[in-house]
Amino acid sequence: MLTLLAFAFVLGVLVFVHEFGHFIMARRIGIRVITFSLGFGPKILKTQRGDTEYCISAIPLGGYVKMAGDNPEESRSGAPDEFLSRTKWERFQVLVMGPAMNVILAIVLLAIVLMNGATVPAFQDAAPVVGAVAAGSPAQQAGIQAGDRILSVDGRAVPTWDDFYTAVGTHTDRRIPIVLERRGQQLTRDVTPQGKTEFRIGEIGVLPDVHPTIKSVLAGQPAEKAGLKAGDVVVAVDGQTVTFASQLSQTISGHGGQPVTLTIERNQVQQQIQVTPQLQGKTALIGVTIGDAVKTFKPGVLEAIGLSFQRNYQYSILIGQTVWGLITRQISAKQLMGPVAIAQLSGESAQAGWIALFGLMASISLNLGLLNLLPIPVLDGGHIFIMALEGIARRDFSVQVKEKVLLAGFAFLMLLMVMVIYNDLTRIPWIDRFLPFK
Protein backbone atom coordinates (compact mmCIF):
# COMPACT_ATOMS: atom_id res chain seq x y z
CA MET A 1 0.00 0.00 0.00
CA LEU A 2 2.84 2.40 0.85
CA THR A 3 4.40 1.74 -2.56
CA LEU A 4 1.16 2.62 -4.38
CA LEU A 5 0.61 5.75 -2.29
CA ALA A 6 4.20 6.91 -2.78
CA PHE A 7 3.99 6.24 -6.53
CA ALA A 8 0.70 8.15 -6.80
CA PHE A 9 2.20 11.06 -4.86
CA VAL A 10 5.40 11.21 -6.94
CA LEU A 11 3.63 10.89 -10.28
CA GLY A 12 0.83 13.24 -9.27
CA VAL A 13 3.21 16.02 -8.22
CA LEU A 14 5.43 15.68 -11.31
CA VAL A 15 2.51 15.63 -13.73
CA PHE A 16 0.75 18.50 -11.98
CA VAL A 17 3.88 20.68 -12.10
CA HIS A 18 4.42 19.85 -15.79
CA GLU A 19 0.86 20.57 -16.86
CA PHE A 20 0.67 23.64 -14.62
CA GLY A 21 3.62 25.03 -16.62
CA HIS A 22 1.63 24.73 -19.85
CA PHE A 23 -1.49 26.07 -18.13
CA ILE A 24 0.03 29.15 -16.50
CA MET A 25 1.89 30.20 -19.67
CA ALA A 26 -1.22 29.73 -21.83
CA ARG A 27 -3.25 31.88 -19.42
CA ARG A 28 -0.52 34.53 -19.31
CA ILE A 29 -0.44 34.81 -23.09
CA GLY A 30 -4.23 34.88 -23.29
CA ILE A 31 -5.00 31.40 -24.65
CA ARG A 32 -8.25 29.91 -23.36
CA VAL A 33 -7.75 26.62 -21.47
CA ILE A 34 -10.70 24.23 -21.81
CA THR A 35 -9.47 21.30 -19.66
CA PHE A 36 -6.75 20.77 -17.06
CA SER A 37 -6.54 17.03 -16.33
CA LEU A 38 -4.38 14.84 -14.13
CA GLY A 39 -4.49 11.45 -15.83
CA PHE A 40 -6.06 10.24 -19.06
CA GLY A 41 -9.29 8.48 -19.98
CA PRO A 42 -12.66 8.73 -18.21
CA LYS A 43 -12.99 11.63 -15.79
CA ILE A 44 -13.46 10.56 -12.18
CA LEU A 45 -13.68 13.97 -10.51
CA LYS A 46 -14.26 17.31 -12.22
CA THR A 47 -15.20 20.89 -11.48
CA GLN A 48 -15.72 23.98 -13.63
CA ARG A 49 -14.02 27.29 -12.86
CA GLY A 50 -14.60 29.96 -15.46
CA ASP A 51 -13.74 28.68 -18.93
CA THR A 52 -11.68 25.76 -17.58
CA GLU A 53 -12.73 22.30 -16.42
CA TYR A 54 -10.38 20.83 -13.81
CA CYS A 55 -10.50 17.04 -13.49
CA ILE A 56 -8.82 13.85 -12.31
CA SER A 57 -9.01 11.03 -14.85
CA ALA A 58 -8.89 7.25 -14.47
CA ILE A 59 -5.46 6.44 -15.98
CA PRO A 60 -2.83 8.11 -13.75
CA LEU A 61 0.15 7.79 -16.13
CA GLY A 62 0.30 11.43 -17.17
CA GLY A 63 -2.04 14.34 -17.76
CA TYR A 64 -2.93 17.03 -20.28
CA VAL A 65 -4.00 20.62 -20.84
CA LYS A 66 -6.63 21.05 -23.56
CA MET A 67 -6.47 24.54 -25.08
CA ALA A 68 -8.95 26.16 -27.42
CA GLY A 69 -7.99 25.70 -31.05
CA ASP A 70 -4.97 23.47 -30.40
CA ASN A 71 -6.13 20.74 -32.82
CA PRO A 72 -5.98 21.64 -36.54
CA GLU A 73 -8.67 18.99 -37.26
CA GLU A 74 -11.25 20.79 -35.12
CA SER A 75 -13.19 23.79 -36.38
CA ARG A 76 -11.63 27.08 -35.30
CA SER A 77 -13.04 30.57 -35.20
CA GLY A 78 -9.67 32.26 -35.54
CA ALA A 79 -10.22 34.08 -32.26
CA PRO A 80 -7.07 35.38 -30.56
CA ASP A 81 -7.67 33.15 -27.52
CA GLU A 82 -7.08 30.00 -29.63
CA PHE A 83 -3.71 28.26 -29.52
CA LEU A 84 -3.13 28.08 -33.28
CA SER A 85 -4.06 31.73 -33.64
CA ARG A 86 -0.99 32.77 -31.67
CA THR A 87 2.48 33.29 -33.12
CA LYS A 88 5.02 30.46 -33.21
CA TRP A 89 7.04 32.22 -30.51
CA GLU A 90 4.02 32.34 -28.19
CA ARG A 91 3.18 28.69 -28.88
CA PHE A 92 6.82 27.77 -28.21
CA GLN A 93 6.60 29.44 -24.80
CA VAL A 94 3.50 27.40 -23.89
CA LEU A 95 5.08 24.13 -25.04
CA VAL A 96 8.46 24.62 -23.39
CA MET A 97 7.06 25.79 -20.07
CA GLY A 98 5.96 22.27 -19.05
CA PRO A 99 9.46 20.75 -19.25
CA ALA A 100 10.92 23.96 -17.80
CA MET A 101 8.74 23.60 -14.71
CA ASN A 102 9.99 20.04 -14.21
CA VAL A 103 13.59 21.25 -14.35
CA ILE A 104 12.79 24.04 -11.88
CA LEU A 105 11.13 21.50 -9.57
CA ALA A 106 14.23 19.28 -9.74
CA ILE A 107 16.43 22.22 -8.71
CA VAL A 108 14.13 23.16 -5.80
CA LEU A 109 13.76 19.60 -4.50
CA LEU A 110 17.49 18.84 -4.70
CA ALA A 111 18.24 22.11 -2.89
CA ILE A 112 15.88 21.02 -0.08
CA VAL A 113 17.63 17.64 0.09
CA LEU A 114 21.06 19.28 0.25
CA MET A 115 19.97 21.79 2.91
CA ASN A 116 18.99 18.86 5.11
CA GLY A 117 22.60 17.70 5.01
CA ALA A 118 24.08 14.50 3.69
CA THR A 119 26.62 11.86 4.60
CA VAL A 120 28.65 10.57 1.67
CA PRO A 121 31.64 8.23 1.31
CA ALA A 122 34.87 10.06 2.04
CA PHE A 123 36.45 8.78 -1.18
CA GLN A 124 33.62 9.99 -3.45
CA ASP A 125 35.37 13.23 -4.51
CA ALA A 126 38.88 11.73 -4.44
CA ALA A 127 40.86 10.72 -7.54
CA PRO A 128 40.08 7.12 -8.61
CA VAL A 129 43.28 5.41 -7.47
CA VAL A 130 42.69 1.66 -7.29
CA GLY A 131 43.08 0.28 -3.77
CA ALA A 132 42.08 -3.31 -4.52
CA VAL A 133 40.88 -5.46 -7.42
CA ALA A 134 38.23 -8.12 -6.83
CA ALA A 135 39.31 -11.66 -7.67
CA GLY A 136 37.93 -12.91 -10.98
CA SER A 137 36.54 -9.48 -11.86
CA PRO A 138 36.68 -7.89 -15.33
CA ALA A 139 39.33 -5.48 -13.99
CA GLN A 140 41.57 -8.33 -12.86
CA GLN A 141 41.13 -10.12 -16.18
CA ALA A 142 42.12 -6.91 -17.99
CA GLY A 143 45.27 -6.53 -15.89
CA ILE A 144 44.28 -3.51 -13.80
CA GLN A 145 46.30 -3.41 -10.56
CA ALA A 146 46.17 -1.79 -7.15
CA GLY A 147 47.84 1.63 -7.33
CA ASP A 148 46.65 2.36 -10.88
CA ARG A 149 45.17 5.85 -11.33
CA ILE A 150 42.17 5.67 -13.68
CA LEU A 151 42.13 8.65 -16.07
CA SER A 152 39.23 8.03 -18.43
CA VAL A 153 36.45 5.56 -19.28
CA ASP A 154 35.42 5.18 -22.93
CA GLY A 155 36.98 8.56 -23.74
CA ARG A 156 35.33 10.37 -20.80
CA ALA A 157 37.62 11.89 -18.17
CA VAL A 158 36.93 10.64 -14.63
CA PRO A 159 38.59 12.99 -12.12
CA THR A 160 36.74 11.45 -9.13
CA TRP A 161 35.41 8.08 -7.98
CA ASP A 162 31.89 9.46 -8.40
CA ASP A 163 32.61 10.22 -12.07
CA PHE A 164 34.20 6.80 -12.52
CA TYR A 165 31.24 4.85 -11.10
CA THR A 166 28.82 6.89 -13.21
CA ALA A 167 30.81 6.28 -16.41
CA VAL A 168 31.22 2.54 -15.83
CA GLY A 169 27.65 2.05 -14.57
CA THR A 170 26.13 3.06 -17.91
CA HIS A 171 28.25 0.71 -20.03
CA THR A 172 27.03 -2.74 -19.06
CA ASP A 173 28.14 -5.78 -21.07
CA ARG A 174 30.04 -3.68 -23.64
CA ARG A 175 33.81 -3.67 -24.11
CA ILE A 176 35.18 -0.20 -23.36
CA PRO A 177 38.70 1.28 -23.20
CA ILE A 178 39.94 2.46 -19.80
CA VAL A 179 43.00 4.69 -19.72
CA LEU A 180 45.07 4.52 -16.54
CA GLU A 181 48.37 5.75 -15.19
CA ARG A 182 50.86 3.30 -13.68
CA ARG A 183 54.22 4.47 -12.36
CA GLY A 184 54.21 7.53 -14.62
CA GLN A 185 53.14 5.69 -17.78
CA GLN A 186 49.72 5.77 -19.45
CA LEU A 187 48.20 2.42 -20.35
CA THR A 188 44.93 1.43 -22.00
CA ARG A 189 42.98 -1.64 -20.96
CA ASP A 190 39.80 -2.94 -22.61
CA VAL A 191 37.26 -3.98 -19.99
CA THR A 192 33.68 -5.31 -20.17
CA PRO A 193 31.63 -4.10 -17.15
CA GLN A 194 29.27 -6.70 -15.72
CA GLY A 195 25.66 -5.77 -14.98
CA LYS A 196 24.96 -5.89 -11.23
CA THR A 197 21.67 -5.56 -9.31
CA GLU A 198 18.26 -5.75 -10.96
CA PHE A 199 18.95 -2.42 -12.68
CA ARG A 200 22.00 -3.78 -14.55
CA ILE A 201 24.48 -1.22 -13.20
CA GLY A 202 27.92 -1.83 -14.71
CA GLU A 203 30.85 -2.80 -12.45
CA ILE A 204 34.42 -3.88 -13.21
CA GLY A 205 35.58 -4.85 -9.71
CA VAL A 206 37.94 -2.04 -8.68
CA LEU A 207 37.76 -0.62 -5.16
CA PRO A 208 39.06 2.63 -3.65
CA ASP A 209 42.02 2.74 -1.27
CA VAL A 210 39.92 3.02 1.90
CA HIS A 211 39.34 0.71 4.84
CA PRO A 212 36.75 0.34 7.63
CA THR A 213 37.39 1.79 11.08
CA ILE A 214 36.59 0.22 14.45
CA LYS A 215 34.25 2.68 16.17
CA SER A 216 33.96 0.93 19.54
CA VAL A 217 35.04 -2.28 21.29
CA LEU A 218 32.72 -4.18 23.64
CA ALA A 219 34.13 -5.17 27.01
CA GLY A 220 34.87 -8.86 27.54
CA GLN A 221 34.48 -9.75 23.85
CA PRO A 222 37.13 -11.40 21.60
CA ALA A 223 38.18 -8.07 20.08
CA GLU A 224 39.05 -6.54 23.47
CA LYS A 225 40.86 -9.67 24.60
CA ALA A 226 42.91 -9.65 21.39
CA GLY A 227 43.93 -6.01 21.93
CA LEU A 228 41.83 -4.23 19.30
CA LYS A 229 40.99 -0.59 20.10
CA ALA A 230 38.54 2.04 18.91
CA GLY A 231 40.10 3.99 16.04
CA ASP A 232 41.97 1.01 14.58
CA VAL A 233 41.70 0.85 10.80
CA VAL A 234 41.26 -2.71 9.48
CA VAL A 235 43.38 -3.02 6.33
CA ALA A 236 43.10 -6.77 5.65
CA VAL A 237 41.77 -10.08 6.98
CA ASP A 238 44.05 -13.11 6.54
CA GLY A 239 46.03 -11.11 3.99
CA GLN A 240 42.99 -10.18 1.90
CA THR A 241 42.43 -6.43 1.54
CA VAL A 242 39.25 -5.11 3.14
CA THR A 243 37.67 -1.98 1.70
CA PHE A 244 34.20 -1.60 3.23
CA ALA A 245 32.66 -2.41 6.62
CA SER A 246 30.22 -4.81 4.97
CA GLN A 247 33.12 -6.89 3.64
CA LEU A 248 34.68 -7.09 7.10
CA SER A 249 31.39 -8.17 8.71
CA GLN A 250 30.78 -10.81 6.06
CA THR A 251 34.30 -12.23 6.37
CA ILE A 252 34.19 -12.43 10.18
CA SER A 253 30.71 -13.94 10.25
CA GLY A 254 31.98 -16.93 8.26
CA HIS A 255 34.79 -17.77 10.74
CA GLY A 256 32.96 -18.83 13.89
CA GLY A 257 35.46 -20.53 16.23
CA GLN A 258 38.26 -20.11 13.69
CA PRO A 259 41.04 -17.57 14.35
CA VAL A 260 41.55 -14.81 11.78
CA THR A 261 44.46 -12.43 11.44
CA LEU A 262 43.52 -8.77 11.13
CA THR A 263 46.02 -6.35 9.65
CA ILE A 264 45.28 -3.04 11.33
CA GLU A 265 46.70 0.45 11.17
CA ARG A 266 47.12 2.28 14.49
CA ASN A 267 48.90 5.64 14.74
CA GLN A 268 50.03 5.23 11.11
CA VAL A 269 51.78 1.94 11.95
CA GLN A 270 50.53 -1.41 10.66
CA GLN A 271 50.44 -4.49 12.88
CA GLN A 272 48.77 -7.89 12.88
CA ILE A 273 46.35 -9.07 15.55
CA GLN A 274 44.82 -12.53 15.75
CA VAL A 275 41.24 -12.81 17.00
CA THR A 276 38.79 -15.72 17.17
CA PRO A 277 35.15 -14.82 16.38
CA GLN A 278 32.51 -16.32 18.68
CA LEU A 279 29.27 -17.79 17.39
CA GLN A 280 26.18 -15.98 18.64
CA GLY A 281 23.25 -17.81 17.14
CA LYS A 282 24.18 -18.40 13.52
CA THR A 283 26.47 -15.37 13.26
CA ALA A 284 30.10 -15.09 14.31
CA LEU A 285 31.07 -11.82 16.05
CA ILE A 286 34.18 -10.34 17.64
CA GLY A 287 32.44 -7.57 19.62
CA VAL A 288 33.10 -4.34 17.71
CA THR A 289 31.11 -1.71 15.88
CA ILE A 290 32.62 -0.71 12.57
CA GLY A 291 32.01 1.97 9.99
CA ASP A 292 33.23 3.27 6.65
CA ALA A 293 35.07 6.56 6.23
CA VAL A 294 32.45 9.21 5.51
CA LYS A 295 32.11 12.98 5.43
CA THR A 296 29.10 15.10 6.28
CA PHE A 297 28.13 18.47 4.86
CA LYS A 298 25.16 20.76 5.48
CA PRO A 299 25.19 23.82 3.21
CA GLY A 300 23.23 27.01 3.78
CA VAL A 301 20.32 28.09 1.58
CA LEU A 302 22.33 29.91 -1.10
CA GLU A 303 25.06 27.27 -1.17
CA ALA A 304 22.45 24.49 -1.46
CA ILE A 305 20.79 26.27 -4.40
CA GLY A 306 24.16 26.70 -6.10
CA LEU A 307 25.06 23.05 -5.55
CA SER A 308 21.63 22.03 -6.85
CA PHE A 309 22.17 23.99 -10.08
CA GLN A 310 25.63 22.43 -10.44
CA ARG A 311 24.49 18.86 -9.85
CA ASN A 312 21.41 19.16 -12.04
CA TYR A 313 23.64 20.50 -14.80
CA GLN A 314 25.94 17.48 -14.39
CA TYR A 315 22.96 15.11 -14.34
CA SER A 316 21.60 16.78 -17.50
CA ILE A 317 24.84 16.06 -19.33
CA LEU A 318 24.67 12.46 -18.12
CA ILE A 319 21.07 12.13 -19.35
CA GLY A 320 22.13 13.46 -22.75
CA GLN A 321 25.04 11.02 -22.91
CA THR A 322 22.72 8.17 -21.91
CA VAL A 323 20.17 9.03 -24.61
CA TRP A 324 22.94 9.20 -27.21
CA GLY A 325 24.33 5.89 -25.93
CA LEU A 326 20.91 4.27 -26.36
CA ILE A 327 20.62 5.63 -29.92
CA THR A 328 24.10 4.38 -30.86
CA ARG A 329 23.50 1.10 -28.98
CA GLN A 330 26.48 1.75 -26.71
CA ILE A 331 24.20 1.54 -23.65
CA SER A 332 21.90 -1.40 -23.02
CA ALA A 333 18.16 -0.70 -23.15
CA LYS A 334 17.83 -3.12 -20.22
CA GLN A 335 18.93 -0.27 -17.94
CA LEU A 336 15.77 1.71 -18.73
CA MET A 337 13.12 1.87 -16.01
CA GLY A 338 9.35 2.15 -16.42
CA PRO A 339 6.39 2.80 -14.11
CA VAL A 340 6.76 -0.49 -12.22
CA ALA A 341 10.39 0.23 -11.28
CA ILE A 342 9.56 3.85 -10.43
CA ALA A 343 6.75 2.63 -8.16
CA GLN A 344 9.17 0.23 -6.46
CA LEU A 345 11.76 2.97 -5.93
CA SER A 346 9.06 5.35 -4.69
CA GLY A 347 8.00 2.84 -2.03
CA GLU A 348 11.58 2.21 -0.92
CA SER A 349 12.31 5.95 -0.78
CA ALA A 350 9.12 6.65 1.16
CA GLN A 351 10.17 4.08 3.76
CA ALA A 352 13.48 5.92 4.12
CA GLY A 353 11.71 9.26 4.73
CA TRP A 354 10.69 12.47 2.99
CA ILE A 355 14.23 13.55 2.15
CA ALA A 356 14.94 10.32 0.26
CA LEU A 357 11.59 10.63 -1.54
CA PHE A 358 12.36 14.24 -2.52
CA GLY A 359 15.73 13.13 -3.85
CA LEU A 360 14.07 10.52 -6.06
CA MET A 361 11.45 13.05 -7.22
CA ALA A 362 14.19 15.52 -8.17
CA SER A 363 15.90 12.89 -10.34
CA ILE A 364 12.68 11.79 -12.06
CA SER A 365 11.51 15.38 -12.57
CA LEU A 366 14.77 16.31 -14.32
CA ASN A 367 14.52 13.25 -16.55
CA LEU A 368 10.87 14.01 -17.34
CA GLY A 369 11.63 17.61 -18.22
CA LEU A 370 14.61 16.88 -20.47
CA LEU A 371 13.17 13.81 -22.19
CA ASN A 372 10.00 15.76 -23.01
CA LEU A 373 12.18 18.10 -25.06
CA LEU A 374 13.33 15.30 -27.38
CA PRO A 375 12.17 15.86 -30.98
CA ILE A 376 9.73 12.95 -30.85
CA PRO A 377 6.20 13.68 -32.14
CA VAL A 378 3.55 13.69 -29.38
CA LEU A 379 6.12 14.99 -26.86
CA ASP A 380 6.50 18.74 -26.30
CA GLY A 381 9.86 18.62 -28.06
CA GLY A 382 8.22 16.98 -31.08
CA HIS A 383 5.68 19.81 -31.41
CA ILE A 384 8.48 22.36 -31.05
CA PHE A 385 10.50 20.53 -33.71
CA ILE A 386 7.58 20.53 -36.15
CA MET A 387 7.07 24.27 -35.56
CA ALA A 388 10.78 24.86 -36.19
CA LEU A 389 10.57 22.96 -39.49
CA GLU A 390 7.52 24.99 -40.46
CA GLY A 391 9.45 28.15 -39.64
CA ILE A 392 12.35 27.05 -41.83
CA ALA A 393 9.97 26.10 -44.66
CA ARG A 394 8.00 29.33 -44.12
CA ARG A 395 4.72 27.47 -44.37
CA ASP A 396 2.52 25.28 -42.17
CA PHE A 397 2.40 21.59 -42.95
CA SER A 398 -0.91 20.01 -43.94
CA VAL A 399 -3.14 18.31 -41.40
CA GLN A 400 -2.52 14.95 -43.11
CA VAL A 401 1.26 15.27 -42.76
CA LYS A 402 0.99 16.22 -39.08
CA GLU A 403 -1.38 13.31 -38.44
CA LYS A 404 1.08 10.81 -39.90
CA VAL A 405 4.01 12.27 -37.95
CA LEU A 406 2.08 12.25 -34.68
CA LEU A 407 0.87 8.70 -35.28
CA ALA A 408 4.46 7.55 -35.85
CA GLY A 409 5.52 9.28 -32.64
CA PHE A 410 2.67 7.70 -30.70
CA ALA A 411 3.55 4.24 -32.02
CA PHE A 412 7.20 4.76 -31.04
CA LEU A 413 6.27 5.79 -27.51
CA MET A 414 3.95 2.80 -27.11
CA LEU A 415 6.73 0.43 -28.19
CA LEU A 416 9.09 2.16 -25.76
CA MET A 417 6.53 1.82 -22.97
CA VAL A 418 6.11 -1.91 -23.67
CA MET A 419 9.91 -2.35 -23.57
CA VAL A 420 10.46 -0.53 -20.28
CA ILE A 421 7.54 -2.31 -18.59
CA TYR A 422 8.98 -5.62 -19.80
CA ASN A 423 12.34 -4.58 -18.29
CA ASP A 424 10.55 -3.79 -15.03
CA LEU A 425 8.88 -7.19 -14.95
CA THR A 426 12.18 -9.03 -15.50
CA ARG A 427 13.40 -7.44 -12.24
CA ILE A 428 10.65 -9.21 -10.27
CA PRO A 429 11.97 -12.76 -9.66
CA TRP A 430 8.66 -14.66 -9.52
CA ILE A 431 7.45 -12.97 -12.73
CA ASP A 432 10.81 -13.21 -14.54
CA ARG A 433 10.61 -17.04 -14.47
CA PHE A 434 7.63 -16.95 -16.83
CA LEU A 435 8.90 -14.33 -19.27
CA PRO A 436 10.36 -15.17 -22.71
CA PHE A 437 13.18 -13.34 -24.53
CA LYS A 438 15.52 -13.03 -21.55
| Rounded alpha-carbon distances, angstroms, from residue 88 to 23, 92, 387, 390 | 17, 6, 7, 9
Q: What is the mean pLDDT of residues 225-230?
A: 91
| Domain final residue, candidates 242, 258, 292 | 292
Do 152 and 180 fall into the same domain? yes
| Rounded alpha-carbon distances, angstroms, from residue 104 to 110, 317, 431 | 10, 16, 37
Say how far apart CA 339 and CA 78 lie, in whole Å. 40
The verdict on residue 383 lying in a domain is yes
Among 95-109, 207-221, 344-358, 415-429, the range with the most confident prediction by mean pLDDT is 95-109
Do 12 and 98 fall into the same domain? yes
**What's the pLDDT band for 336 if we cut at 50, 70, 90?**
confident
The per-residue pLDDT for range 2-38, each reduced to its tens digit, is: 888 888 889 889 999 999 999 999 999 999 999 999 8
Say how far apart CA 410 and CA 107 lie, in whole Å. 30
| Domain final residue, candidates 292, 322, 350 | 292
The per-residue pLDDT for range 134-166, each reduced to its tens digit, is: 889 999 999 999 999 999 999 989 999 999 998
**What's the pLDDT band for 234 if we cut at 50, 70, 90?**
very high
Do 21 and 86 fall into the same domain? yes
Do 25 and 95 fall into the same domain? yes
The per-residue pLDDT for range 379-406, each reduced to its tens digit, is: 999 999 999 988 888 888 887 888 888 8
Query: Mean of the per-residue pLDDT values for the chain?
Result: 88
Q: What is the mean pLDDT of residues 101-127?
A: 90
Task: State the pLDDT at residue 347.
Answer: 85
Task: State the pLDDT at residue 257.
Answer: 77
Rounded to the nearest 10 degrees, what angle do helices 88-115 and 380-393 cross at? Answer: 150
Task: State the pLDDT at residue 101.
Answer: 97
Enumerate residues 6+ apart whose C-beta is below 8 A from 250. Answer: none
Write down the H helix ranges in 56-213: 88-115, 138-142, 161-169
Enumerate the β-bridge partners of residue 187: 180
Q: How many domains does the chain have?
A: 3
- H/E segment holding residue 59: strand 52-67
The verdict on residue 385 lying in a domain is yes
Do 90 and 10 fall into the same domain? yes
Burial 311-327 (b: 16+ CB within 10 A, else e): bbeebbebbebbeebee
Task: State the pLDDT at residue 430.
Answer: 64
Say how far apart CA 92 and CA 108 lie, in whole Å. 24
**What's the pLDDT band for 220 if we cut at 50, 70, 90?**
confident
> Which residue of the set 19, 73, 198, 390 is catalytic?
19
The verdict on residue 105 lying in a domain is yes
74 catalytic, yes or no?
A: no
Q: Is 367 helix (H, G, I), strand (E, B) or coil?
A: helix
The verdict on residue 42 lying in a domain is yes
Write down the H helix ranges in 276-338: 301-327
Do 202 and 223 fall into the same domain? no
Task: State the pLDDT at residue 152.
Answer: 94
Do 191 and 228 fall into the same domain? no
Do 183 and 254 fall into the same domain? no
Do 279 and 372 fall into the same domain? no
Do 243 and 276 fall into the same domain? yes
Do 163 and 182 fall into the same domain? yes
Asked whether the predicted pLDDT for residue 438 surpasses 60, the reply is no
Task: State the pLDDT at residue 437.
Answer: 59
Asked whether the predicted pLDDT for residue 333 surpasses 80, the reply is no
The per-residue pLDDT for range 404-426, each reduced to its tens digit, is: 888 888 888 888 888 888 777 77
Least confident of 85-89, 279-283, 364-368: 279-283
Task: State the pLDDT at residue 228.
Answer: 92
Domain coverage including residue 152: 130-207
The verdict on residue 321 lying in a domain is no
The verdict on residue 325 lying in a domain is no
Please calculate the CA angle 67-69-71 and round it to the nearest 5 degrees: 95
Do 27 and 68 fall into the same domain? yes
The per-residue pLDDT for range 302-327, each reduced to its tens digit, is: 999 998 998 899 889 888 888 887 78
**CATH code of 257's domain:** 2.30.42.10
Say how far apart CA 416 and CA 101 lie, in whole Å. 24
Task: State the pLDDT at residue 390.
Answer: 87
Q: What is the mean pLDDT of residues 39-65?
A: 88
CB 118 within 8 A of CB 67: no
| Domain final residue, candidates 207, 226, 246 | 207
Residue type present at position 199: F
pTM: 0.76
Say how far apart CA 83 and CA 79 lie, in whole Å. 9
Say how far apart CA 124 and CA 220 lie, in whole Å. 36
User: For a pLDDT cut of 70, what percent of the chain falls above it?
Assistant: 97
The verdict on residue 320 lying in a domain is no
- H/E segment holding residue 386: helix 380-393
Q: What is the mean pLDDT of residues 249-267?
A: 87
The verdict on residue 312 lying in a domain is no
Say how far apart CA 380 and CA 398 lie, in whole Å. 19
Say how far apart CA 54 and CA 31 lie, in whole Å. 16
